[in-house]
């Protein structure tokens, strides 16, 4: 145990002290903040502030459209109404459009008959300004719908009620919970995926590095290969955990600022219970350890980064499989398949967590999944250390599967 701790400590300190670690730790939250700021800016900009001229022979219709556009854009748009148009209105508008005095004009020709749609022509200076186009279109369709409803004999009040936006009041307790669990599982999935891809592979890399720098021989004359593997998995793993927790902390701080709460104002509320948090942490840690151990085995099998890349899929595939089966488990958490899959060690971190969040799971199934994961971690490290010990004695050659199986028998 002392040796595992010493090795883990060394790996941890060596990595945490590097400039790369510091830069990444600081830079990523900055980028996150930057990203959020940019998206706010874009969101603001998306509310069009263009200068549009509305032309129609029907003054009432034109002012209706103007009013609607004003409400839709919080009076950010500069609007002019020309009604009715004269002979040279169109050439004048074209000129202004070319000179960029206006950003576009909307030409509405009222229909001769009542049940026909009016002719609408919209000219824009910059065809790429999709936001403005959309704003104009939606305003126009609302106005025209309202007008047609009024023509059918509805009162203005009736039309207003009819056109009021739908208020979705998701008061259903169950529903809310599922959404939250689903979100929780997705967060867990992406967190695991990211951390495993970023740091799990570091475990493999550190093992390869030890082979190329040839430190392993001295190390193996002092410690057991399994201690070495365990130390590396824990040490390199903790680096990832440190960084991710720092990032999450930064994210929490960022999203907690008044600015953010204002912007997200009344947005999605995800409530997670304390029990869920505990399971989240347990399954995340065990899953992370398990996948890091697999990475360690991959590192033990290979001699270079390139070879390692080819074996990447052994890490990604089980995760991808979880993603595919996630809907099944979500829809039928008590299904036999769901129950079996969720206690398979490679899948339990995601699937069992999902089941626990969605529906009550018997305690013994939870216990089995946790015990099986621990056994799997131990077994994978044991296998990895076997492969490692024999693998280093035959450097330069990439092993094939029968050879690896034979290595297991060696001591």
Partner 1 sequence: MPTVQLNNIRKAYDTKVAVEGLSLTIEPGTMFGLLGPNGSGKTSSIRMMVGITVPDSGTVQLFDKPFERKALERVGYLPEERGLYKKMNVLEQIIFMGKLRGLSAAVAEQRAKQWADRLQITDALPKKTEELSKGMQQKIQFITTLIHEPDLVIMDEPFSGLDPVNGALLQDTLLELRAAGKSILFSTHRMDQVEKMCDAIAIIYQGKLILEGTMRDIKREYPRNRVEVIYEGDNGFLNHAVVDEVKHFGTGSASLKLRGDTPDAQPLLAEAVARGTRITRFEVKEPTLEEIFIERVGGRVDA
Q: What is the binding site for partner 1 (CB under 8 A)?
A: 3, 6-7, 10, 14, 18, 213-224, 389, 393-394, 406, 411
> What is each CA distance from 357 to 183, 225, 267, 287, 338, in whole angstroms?
10, 38, 22, 17, 14
Q: Give the residue with the Cβ less far from partner 1, 215 or 371.
A: 215
User: Which residues are CB-neighbours of 383 under 8 A, at least 6 positions away?
Assistant: 297, 408
- 309 burial (CB, 10 Å; 0-12 / 13-18 / 19+) is exposed
Q: Give the residue with the Cβ less far from partner 1, 2 or 269.
A: 2
Q: Give the residue with the Cβ less far from partner 1, 215 or 379.
A: 215
Q: How far is the CB of 403 from partner 1 (least distance, A)?
A: 8
Q: How far is the CB of 221 from partner 1 (least distance, A)?
A: 4
How crowded is residue 184: how many other Cβ atoms within 10 Å of its Cβ? 22
> What is each CA distance from 65 to 3, 54, 204, 352, 372, in whole angstroms?
76, 8, 63, 54, 66
Q: Give the residue with the Cβ less far from partner 1, 221 or 274.
A: 221
Among 30, 37, 135, which Cα is nearest to 77's?
135
- Residue 104 CA to residue 312 CA, distance in Å, equals 53
Residue 350: strand pairing partners: none
Q: How far is the CB of 304 from partner 1 (least distance, A)?
A: 16
Q: Give the residue with the Cβ less far from partner 1, 71 or 212.
A: 212
Q: How far is the CB of 213 from partner 1 (least distance, A)?
A: 5
Q: How far is the CB of 28 from partner 1 (least distance, A)?
A: 22
Q: Give the residue with the Cβ less far from partner 1, 5 or 182.
A: 5
Q: Give the residue with the Cβ less far from partner 1, 15 or 339.
A: 15
Q: Is 100 left (phi over 0), alpha (psi -120 to 50) or beta?
A: left
Peptide bond into 150 cis (omega under 30): no
What number of CA atoms fall less than 13 Å from residue 235's CA on the CB side?
Answer: 26
Gap between the terminal Cα atoms of the chain: 21
Both structure tokens of 22: 């510091």
- What phi and psi values does residue 184 have, to the nearest 5 degrees? -60, -45
Q: How far is the CB of 235 from partner 1 (least distance, A)?
A: 12
Q: Give the residue with the Cβ less far from partner 1, 324 or 393.
A: 393
Among 198, 196, 201, 404, which Cα is nearest to 296's?
201
Q: How far is the CB of 214 from partner 1 (least distance, A)?
A: 3
Q: How far is the CB of 20 from partner 1 (least distance, A)?
A: 11
Q: How far is the CB of 378 from partner 1 (least distance, A)?
A: 19
Helix axes 348-358, 363-393, angle to 10 degrees: 170
Token pair 């004359």 is at which residue?
221
- Residue 228 CA to residue 215 CA, distance in Å, equals 12
H helices, E strands: number in the chain: 18, 4
Q: Give the residue with the Cβ less far from partner 1, 101 or 217.
A: 217
Q: Give the residue with the Cβ less far from partner 1, 111 or 212.
A: 212
Q: How far is the CB of 27 from partner 1 (least distance, A)?
A: 21
């Amino acid at each position: 145990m002392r040796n595992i701790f010493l090795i883990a400590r060394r790996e941890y300190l060596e990595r945490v002290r590097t400039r790369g670690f510091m830069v990444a730790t600081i830079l990523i939250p900055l980028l996150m903040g930057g990203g959020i700021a940019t998206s706010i800016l874009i969101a603001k900009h998306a509310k069009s502030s263009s200068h549009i001229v509305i032309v129609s022979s029907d003054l009432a219709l034109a002012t209706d459209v103007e009013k609607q556009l004003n409400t839709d854009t919080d009076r950010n748009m500069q609007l002019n109404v020309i009604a009715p148009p004269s002979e040279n209105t169109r050439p004048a508008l074209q000129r202004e459009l070319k000179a960029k005095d206006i950003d576009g004009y909307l030409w509405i020709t009222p229909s001769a008959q009542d049940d026909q749609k009016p002719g609408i022509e919209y000219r824009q200076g910059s065809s790429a300004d999709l936001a403005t186009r959309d704003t104009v279109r939606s305003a126009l369709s609302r106005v025209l719908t309202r007008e047609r409803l009024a023509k059918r004999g509805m009162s203005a009040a009736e039309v207003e009620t009819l056109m009021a936006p739908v208020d979705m009041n998701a008061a259903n307790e169950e529903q809310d919970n599922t959404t939250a669990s689903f979100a929780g599982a997705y967060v867990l999935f992406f967190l695991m995926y990211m951390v495993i891809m970023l740091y799990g592979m570091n475990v493999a890399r550190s093992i390869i590095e030890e082979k190329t720098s040839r430190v392993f021989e001295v190390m193996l004359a002092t410690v057991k290969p399994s201690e070495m593997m365990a130390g590396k998995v824990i040490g390199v793993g903790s680096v990832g955990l440190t960084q991710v927790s720092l990032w999450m902390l930064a994210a929490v701080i960022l999203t907690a600022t008044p600015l953010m709460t204002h912007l997200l104002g009344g947005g999605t509320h995800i409530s997670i219970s304390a029990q869920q948090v505990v399971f989240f942490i347990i399954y995340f840690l065990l899953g992370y350890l398990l996948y890091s151990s697999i990475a360690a085995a991959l590192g033990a099998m290979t001699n270079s980064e390139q070879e390692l890349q080819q074996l990447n899929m052994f890490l990604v595939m089980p995760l991808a499989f979880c993603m595919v089966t996630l809907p099944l488990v979500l829809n039928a958490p008590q299904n036999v398949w769901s129950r079996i899959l969720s206690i398979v060690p490679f899948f339990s971190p995601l699937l069992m967590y999902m089941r626990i969040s969605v529906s009550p799971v018997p305690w013994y199934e939870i216990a089995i999944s946790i015990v099986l994961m621990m056994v799997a971690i131990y077994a994978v490290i044991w296998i990895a250390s076997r492969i490692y010990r024999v693998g280093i004695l035959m450097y330069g050659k990439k092993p094939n599967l029968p050879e690896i199986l034979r290595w297991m028998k060696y001591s």
